Structure 1
């Protein structure tokens, strides 16, 4: 058993304690950042997001690792996240550092607020005296919904595909018509998001941009 794992196991009872207090709509996850493809080593109420022990980190975790914001902060709190089924979460992340101050893990709380948002919208209609409409069903599109900062998914391949698709969705011309400069810009954005911290990042990006893996590595060299 690694030193990271032994250290992080001390936080398992705390995670269970928090989940018991907040209730079944609160998912508590502990990530081991030494293995981002299988970072989840403990989870309470995983049924909420559908994740389990052995699943990968999230897009936000990768960006936090890339930005190294944990050097200046101890936690980030009350940001929005979304699930694969369209759920809305109010989430917070605590940086777990060892005695030397090195980041070894993360404790993440994800509170499912989907039904609260639906109820709040309905109540607002009542208070404003406008026409009443049925509450939105879970997963229904909401045009004014705030963009989520984190996407809660399962394995590393799903995470990579989500992150790559999100960046490519901004492109308005076919991939095969992109110039080298435009492809480098895409690689730059994906790199800033932490895509290449995952082992399959280079191969999936290469396939998505219809270029070779050596070309991706060459683009990454140009960014240094």
Structure 2
């Protein structure tokens, strides 16, 4: 077992400890970022999001890897996430770093607060401990509407979610967009980490009605 794997596995009992304290509505996940398509190597209460060991990273994990926010922070906390069944989560992510400060993994907590909205009046003091907003260090400027994390373990579904989220901002069909508009879309998708995943290029090419070599050419223009 290599040193990185040992480090990541040392967080497994911590993840179990946290889940045991907070209870069955708290999902705790350990990610190995070396393999974004199968990054989940440990999970407690995975029934909450439907994810399991061997599932992929989330859109927020990909954004963290691209933005490198972990270089200045130890963790991000109290942001909002959503699940595949419409759940709402209050979430936090701890950056697992090696002895040289390099990011090797993440430990993520996702507390299902979906039903708390119904009883918001008497648990308001709990929910107001910190606002349910995404981490400002890696998201859009404050004046823009912030995005949330999407807890989806399937790579194809994750890619589809990110691509459609970007395309939904556009009022016309993709095949009617100009080359520059498509380059701008590829730039935004690249910033969101789409191309860190296998199949990202082919999915984007299909969504924009262009060839895969064209996507690679657009990416070269962004360097």
- Distance in 2, matches of 1:123 and 1:12, equals 31
Runs (4+) off by over 6 Å:
121-124
Residue of structure 2 equivalent to 1:60? 60
Within 5 A, what are the aligned runs for 1:96-175?
Answer: 96-120=96-120, 149-175=148-174
Alignment of 1:6-25 (within 5 A): 6-25=6-25
Q: Are 2:83 and 2:150, in contact at CA under 8 Å, matched by a contact in 1?
A: yes
Number of aligned residue pairs: 203
CA contact (8 A) 1:187 1:220 kept: yes
SS at match of 1:119: coil
Q: Which residue of the partner structure matches residue 95 of structure 1?
A: 95
Cα–Cα, structure 1 residues 207 and 96, in superposed 2: closer, same or farther, change >3 Å? Answer: same
For structure 1, the residue ranges without an aligned partner over 5 or more in a row are 125-145
Q: Tell me: CA distance 1:123–1:194, structure 2 relative to 1, closer, same or farther (3 Å).
A: closer
How much does 1:7 deviate? 1.7
Indicate the residue corresponding to 2:32 in structure 1: 32
Q: Is the 8 A contact 1:4 1:32 kept in 2?
A: no
Q: What is the TM-score normalised by the length of structure 2?
A: 0.87
Matches within 5 A, 1:185-204: 185-204=184-203
The structural deviation recorded for 1:199 is 1.5
The answer to which structure has the higher helix fraction is: 1
Task: Tell me which structure has the larger Cα radius of gyration.
Answer: 1
Shift of 1:174: 1.2
Deviations 1:113-157 (A, max 9, x none): 000012216999xxxxxxxxxxxxxxxxxxxxx965100011111
CA RMSD of aligned residues (A): 1.6
TM-score when scaled to structure 1?
Answer: 0.87
More deviation, 96-105/147-156: 147-156
